Structure formats: C-alpha cells, structure tokens
Amino acid sequence: MEIESVKCECCGLKEDCTQDYIVEVKSKFSGKWLCGLCSEAVRDEIIRGKFAYGIDEAIKAQIAFCRKFKSNPAVKVADGMRQMLRRRSGESSSAKKLLRSATAPQMGQDRLSTSAALSSTSFLSSYAS
C-alpha cells in the first residue's frame, strides 16, 4: 500500500492517500481528484439539482467558488490571531471594568471607615491629653 500526496483540483488542499483511493475518487469526478469537502460540495450540487448540473459543471462551480474565497494562508492566520487578540483584550478590559466597578464602592467605604476611625482616634487622643 503506497501512500501518495495529491492536491485537490478545486481548493488546492494536499492530502496523503493510497493509490487505490486516489483512483476511486478520480473515477467518480471525471478524472479529477477532489478532497473530501469539495467532493461533498460537488455531490450536494448534483443532488440538489437546482441548476441541473452534471458532474463537470458541478466541479467547475466548486472550482470557481474555491478561487473566489481562496486567499493567502498567511493572511488567514494573521486575521485569526487578530480576532483572537481582540476578543481577549475585550474580555480582559470588560473583566477589569467589572472588577473596578465591583471593588470601587468597597474601596471607597474602606477609605471612609478608615478615615473616620483615624479622626475619632485623633479626637480621642487629643481629648484625653
């Protein structure tokens, strides 16, 4: 069982597959090798029959769809990191705001009670002397 690397003719995804599997997939899709996701999309297009697609038309539609939304993988990674950082910074700033709002009245009360205690202590010490 020899493993071979093949590239999807729609989206460009590379997969390692056995020669038998590659031959089986190509036989179903007019000699073109499609990854699992693209082959399901092509089958779905044929089954729905919305446009009376044959296999070749459905494959062409999937290739066009993939090209339309295909972009540089490095850009996708950078976008994903940016979104993650935005979410995390939003969560941390929200958490800080919640923490501040939850602790601010307590801190104010502590300060008031501390200053009141100091005032009464200094008053009592000055009165006692």
Quick: pLDDT tens for 26-82. 999 999 999 999 999 999 888 887 666 688 999 998 998 888 776 666 666 676 778
Domain co-membership, 24 together with 50:
yes
Domain co-membership, 97 together with 127:
yes
Domain co-membership, 90 together with 128:
yes
Domain boundary among 36, 69, 102: 69
Domain boundary among 69, 88, 120: 69
Domain co-membership, 78 together with 128:
yes
The CA distance from 78 to 17, in Å, is 30
Domain co-membership, 65 together with 77:
no
Number of separate domains in the chain: 2
Domain co-membership, 62 together with 99:
no
- Residue 10, CA distances (Å) to 25, 65, 85, 91 in order: 13, 8, 32, 38
Domain encompassing residue 32: 3-69
Q: Is the pTM of this model over 0.75?
A: no
Domain co-membership, 56 together with 85:
no
Output the CA torsion sign for 74, 76, 78, 80: negative
User: 72-124 pLDDT, tens per residue?
Assistant: 666 666 767 788 888 888 766 655 555 565 555 554 444 444 444 444 444 44
Domain boundary among 20, 38, 69: 69
Domain co-membership, 48 together with 65:
yes
